[in-house]
Amino acid sequence: MLTEKKREFIEFMLSADVLRFGHFVTKSGRNTQYFVNTGNYKTGAQLSRLGGYYADLVADTIGGDFDAMFGPAYKGIPLASACAVALYQNHQIDKPYFFNRKEIKDHGEGGSTVGYKPQDGDRIIIIEDVITAGTAVRETMPILKACANVTAPHMYISVDRCEVGATPGKTAIMEVQEEFGIQVHPIVTVVDIHEYLQQNGTDPSLLEAMEGYMEQYCILP
């Protein structure tokens, strides 16, 4: 259901040119009519507002029941940082965060991660942008497990594309939950975006193309 807060977030993504419509190819190689690029957030005001949306979702779902936040390089780094700030400022939840390096540093403090050093038994939440095929999650979990014997019970993303993964009949998010035990929480879903477009008199040809894509690749709730 398209709530006022979800509508507000969709309009925020549109205003920042993060949610775009046209012809794109996803990381999984699918041709899509819409694309979410969180790399287009580029101002302090945008980052502050974005962190607020993530922090609200974390606070609403699990509160402070976790040990640290992880932001996968590169786009997850500012997302986790902004979420950490907003959790403290808006919800008085002060938690550490960390992120990985693309290349392991062999001098100075060294290591493959920056920030908090996970401990055995830690519950880590992952802050990411979008899940399409689950590839990024499969790359992230070995990084976390290499740090310590941790679990990652929750993941927070901007948009759930609701797309089928490698297993017929299952979305990538369903696969992630089954494979790693991660519950994924999106701020909005493709269903919300579609409903928003319907309500705002969007070009019928775009709606038709998007509906065709959803019918082919999506498993809708």
Active-site residue set: 105, 107
19 token code pair: 């949610």
Number of Cβ within a 10 Å radius of residue 142: 8
How far, in Å, CA of 125 to CA of 154, rounded?
5
- DSSP structural state of residue 182: P
210, amino acid identity? M
What sign results for the dihedral spanned by CA atoms 6, 12, 139, 85?
negative
178 token code pair: 């089954």
13 token code pair: 């993504």
Instruction: Cite the DSSP H helix spans in the chain.
Output: 4-15, 44-61, 76-91, 135-147, 172-180, 190-199, 204-217
Number of Cβ within a 10 Å radius of residue 120: 8
Nearest to 165, CA basis, from 132, 198, 142, 203: 132
Residues pairing with 160 in the sheet: 131, 189
